[in-house]
Amino acid sequence: MFDKDLRTMIDDVKDGRMNRRAFVQRMIAVGLTAPMANQILSLGGVAMAQSPNPYKPTKRGGGGPLKLLWWQGPTLLNPHFATGTKDQDGSRLFYEPLASWDADGHLNPILAAEIPSIQNGGLSKDAKTVVWKLKPGVKWHDGKPVTADDLVFNWEYATDPATAAVSGGTYADMTVEKVDDLTIRITFKQPTPFWANAFVGAYGCIIPKHLFAEYKGSKSREAPNNLKPVGTGPYKFVEFKPGDLVRGEINPDYHMANRPYFDTLEMKGGGDAVSAARAVIQTGEYDFAWNIQVEDEVLLRLEKGGKGKTLYAVGGDIEFIAVNFTDPNTEVDGERSSMKTKHPILSDARVRKALALLVDRDSIKKVIYGRAGRTTANYLNGPEEFVSKNTKWEFSIEKASALLDEAGWKVGGDGIREKDGKKLKLLYQTSINGPRQKTQAIVKQACQKAGIDVELKSVVASVFFSSDVANPDTYAKFYADIEMFQIPMTQPDPALHMRRYHSREVATKDNKWQGRNFPRWVNKDFDAAVDAADTETDPIKRADLYVKANDLMWQDTVVIPVMHRAAVEACSNTLRPALSGWANQTDNLQDWYREG
Amino acid sequence: MSQYILRRLMIAIPSLLGISLVLFVVLALAPGDPFGELATNPNVPPEVQAALRAKFGLDDPIYLRYLHWLAAMAQGDWGFSFVSRMNVDTLILQRLPTTLYVIGSAQLLALAIAIPVGVYAATRPYSIFDQIANTFAFIGFSLPTFFTGILFILIFSVKLDWLPFVYSTDIKATGIAWALEMIRQAIMPVMVLGLFQAASMTRFVRSAMLDVIRLDYVTTARAKGLGQAKVIVKHVMRNAMIPVVTLIALQMPAVFGGAIVTEQIFRIPGIGSLLISSILANDTPVVMAVTFVFACLVVLFNLIADVLYGWLDPRISFR
């Protein structure tokens, strides 16, 4: 019923019988959010509203210096090599993509003349081609014009394996061809409903062909411009000291009117998050500091009568506990947690459900994450159209105990449950990180009350997230019963986020544990839903498929969501940054200004 | 003399080779991955991470990697950073001036305090001055720099708002204003490091002086009617300085190596903070280069100290 109504409404908007605003409001009324509503319109053939961030200055420049403090400074300035967000943020100061994501998860055109839609002929109905048009007259910082050749070159550069670009995956499975000087056509091998990945966001930044053409492939690291970016951004490159400082100055020929506001730009690196928050909020030495993962209590104290405040950008980042479906303690063919085994305790759905009942999300939010977290029962938490309303969570030691009793785990003499002479003992691992160790303690305490003996283990982050095949402590090997970490959602689309739990993605010795399905959960319905969503061009059906996939994960307790996390930034009281939970912090830098 | 120096340098070669081998093996055995950050990024397929490891030779056996490194080092190629994708020597040279300025000033401050205070305290042992100097010295080297650093920040930056606590390599001023700003922002880190060093050095100078001051030749010098100042400076200090020179010489490599904790607290872009961030990012070539240069400096300054002994005490001869 909803489906049909929606279609009528989309047609109404198309024909002008209903305006966008009314449509969005109706959608919000039925529980969708604005970005979702807009996405529906765009897929339904209505051009996306170009929703620039609020911007008050009426002339370019004159804003003095903008001082940014990144407690891990950028170490390189080529967006195709940007390993961490710090490098993406640094590159983004000078390079620009065709479009960026704004706070609501809308595409905001940067170098593109307009956002492709079915209406303007940019998108094909079969979701196999996208046509992007460049804004005319955009120049590189060295005065050369930006053309379609540059775009095609970026695709070639990133997909050449010898270049060793980290953006390779973003540009895979597609061909990019030049239509005319300002137009390109992307052709996907498969119908691709989420077409806005290549040339958009952090890995979509475009580097100039005339400076990098000679350095494609194995010579990529010799390019002098790896360290001296020449981009199209609002600020021109001045100086770069890896890990310490990036400096820029206003680009007087910037392609957007009245932008940018600041005359110079400085991004300082180094130190730690707490003192970065202090330098912005308490002493005002800096205007903006990134990724302030500090206990809320400390931030609240700094904010009292300070010179700045904290800002929260909500995206889809999820902190969760994953459950191992295979046996980490039995070795089969030289492989622990092998697909040929079943977890002796956790393969019982009742035990997994009991564990989910023992995670006290409210306390974790109150004690640890504060304003930077939201409790949730879902693995998939955004954008709104993909968020399931069918799930719920609760914390109840009694219910958990009842479930465990039912599963045959009886409380033994020492308070620990046992079954067939085996103790109910679980190994719970995570990376070393203050909030994670505190969460472990809270969960362990509740488990103890329910008669589960939990052993805690924490691994240095650089090891835990490493792809080192020889190391037994990586999250992908999962030589533990449950493990906890955060998976970020880098774009407002769930495709990549959900695909990792497909059965073909299972991490095994054969694929050198590169598979991303580390809980080693296999569910045919889930596979079918994700596969169908990958090529489903109807946005509503596609959203339903992802909601179904999320619900399957919830029913089976594959993961226990702990916290839906927001990005925390420290910002001076006078600065007006344009932030989005769906983008990097510097992605809409052209719209930043100062007031008061 | 020159033959002695040459022989010492020859002996240094095998020991440096040994040091480099140990460093390399320890680093290679340490777990971790410079591309670990890519692991949870859903945008980057795992094959990309694997391809990067293969491209940078991280999957080769250790002995091959060591031989590659050694061969390159012998030709003056220090390797290139996985994380910054630039040459390690550029990275180090970029940070050297800041480290030399801050840590060097701290050492000078330490010497400027330790020598006069230590000497004066030794000439009047157990006087009020000596007691006070001792008390401060004990407090000084009992307080770790991460504590005094944060204490200084809270007092001078947050409460009084006199000094900046983020060190900037990019000061927008010229001439006198630039120099003043450079001094202003270095005050806190230099004080923190300098006072810490001065504390232990004062104790050292004092005891070295006390050892010498009781000797008969000092009494003789006094007996032949020399003034107190001349006795202390010309006769006592020159001999008392021999152990102090060893101490200073062994601390000189630290001037180049930076101070990890202090650099981190004040965001000083020196060698120490480069080392710690490279260790955290598993950027082996940079860690290797910094630690190896450090080892070379230790060997070199030991040699310089030995040569200086001969100048301070002609009785020590070189064979």
pTM, two decimal places: 0.81
A284 and B CB contact within 8 Å: no
Least Cα separation, residue A245 to chain B (angstroms): 8
State residue B317's pLDDT score. Answer: 66
Mark which residues 291-310 of A lie under 8 Å from B by CB. none
Domains of chain B (ranges; CATH) run 2-88 (no CATH), 96-312 (1.10.3720.10)
Do B40 and A272 lie within an 8 Å CB cutoff? no
Mark which residues 499-538 of A lie under 8 Å from B by CB. 499-500, 511-512, 514-516
* Rounded Cα distance, A251 and A589, in Å: 13
Question: Taking CB atoms and an 8 Å cutoff, what residues of chain A touch B79?
Answer: none
List of residues 6+ apart from A390 with CB closer than 8 A: A547, A551, A554
Question: Taking CB atoms and an 8 Å cutoff, what residues of chain A touch B85?
Answer: 76, 78, 81, 221, 226
For chain A, percent of residues with pLDDT exceeding 90: 53
A490-497 mean pLDDT:
86
Average pLDDT, chain B: 84
Question: Taking CB atoms and an 8 Å cutoff, what residues of chain B touch A241?
Answer: 94-95, 169, 269
Least Cα separation, residue A512 to chain B (angstroms): 9
Q: Name the residue of chain B whose CA is nearest to A168's CA.
A: B48
Beta strands per DSSP E along A197-343 = 235-241, 245-250, 264-269, 288-289, 308-323
Question: Taking CB atoms and an 8 Å cutoff, what residues of chain A touch B273?
Answer: 243-244, 270
* Rounded Cα distance, A141 and A136, in Å: 15
B181 and A CB contact within 8 Å: no
State residue A5's pLDDT score. Answer: 63
Question: Taking CB atoms and an 8 Å cutoff, what residues of chain B touch A322?
Answer: none
Do A242 and B84 lie within an 8 Å CB cutoff? yes
Do B86 and A172 lie within an 8 Å CB cutoff? no
Best of A91, A467, A471, A497 to substitute, by most chain B Cβ atoms within 10 angstroms, is A467
Scan for tokens 């769906």, then name that residue.
A582
Nearest to A462 among B55, B269, B282 (CB): B282
CA distances in angstroms from A421 to A448, A519, A596, listed in the order given? 18, 26, 70
B272 and A CB contact within 8 Å: no
Average pLDDT, chain A: 88
Least Cα separation, residue A2 to chain B (angstroms): 32
- pLDDT higher than 60, residue B63: yes
State residue A324's pLDDT score. Answer: 95
Q: Do residues A265 and A253 lie in contact, with contact meaning Cβ atoms separated by under 8 Å?
A: no
pLDDT in tens, A217-244: 888 878 889 889 999 999 999 999 888 8
Closest CA to A383 of A492, A273, A284: A492
State residue A246's pLDDT score. Answer: 93
Do B161 and A283 lie within an 8 Å CB cutoff? yes
Give the sign of the dihedral formed by CA A352, CA A432, CA A332, CA A552: positive
Nearest to A466 among B31, B45, B166 (CB): B31
pLDDT-derived band at B276, boundaries 50, 70, 90: confident
Window from A313-327, B97-111, B245-259 with minimum mean pLDDT: B245-259
B48 and A CB contact within 8 Å: yes
Q: Is A453 helix (H, G, I), strand (E, B) or coil?
A: strand
If you average pLDDT over each of A365-379, B77-91, B230-244, which comes out highest? A365-379
State residue A182's pLDDT score. Answer: 93
- pLDDT higher than 50, residue A492: yes
Question: Residue A572, exposed/middle/buried by CB under 10 A (0-12, 13-18, 19+)?
Answer: buried
Q: Is A229 helix (H, G, I), strand (E, B) or coil?
A: coil
- pLDDT higher than 50, residue A561: yes
A166 and B CB contact within 8 Å: yes
Scan for tokens 């980057």, then name that residue.
B44
Nearest to A169 among B45, B280, B281 (CB): B45
Q: Do residues B109 and B140 lie in contact, with contact meaning Cβ atoms separated by under 8 Å?
A: no
State residue B309's pLDDT score. Answer: 78
State residue A39's pLDDT score. Answer: 60
Question: Taking CB atoms and an 8 Å cutoff, what residues of chain B touch A582?
Answer: none
Closest CA to A287 of A58, A587, A580, A64: A64
B222-243 mean pLDDT:
85
Rg (CA), chain B: 24
B69-74 mean pLDDT:
85
Determine the distance from the C-alpha atom of residue B129 to the mean position of all C-alpha atoms in its chain, rounded to a whole number: 30
pLDDT in tens, A98-124: 999 888 788 889 999 999 988 888 898
B204 and A CB contact within 8 Å: no
Query: What is the number of other CB atoms lying within 10 angstroms of the CB of residue A576?
Result: 18
pLDDT in tens, A253-273: 999 988 899 999 999 988 888
Window from A223-232, A406-415, B25-34, B180-189 with minimum mean pLDDT: B25-34
Q: Is A458 helix (H, G, I), strand (E, B) or coil?
A: strand
State residue A1's pLDDT score. Answer: 39
Query: What is the number of other CB atoms lying within 10 angstroms of the CB of residue B216?
Result: 8
Q: Is A593 helix (H, G, I), strand (E, B) or coil?
A: strand
Closest CA to B63 of B19, B89, B97, B24: B24
State residue A551's pLDDT score. Answer: 95
A574-588 mean pLDDT:
89
Scan for tokens 């020598």, then name that residue.
B115
pLDDT-derived band at A177, boundaries 50, 70, 90: very high
B115 and A CB contact within 8 Å: no
B51 and A CB contact within 8 Å: yes
Do A475 and B39 lie within an 8 Å CB cutoff? yes
A275 and B CB contact within 8 Å: yes
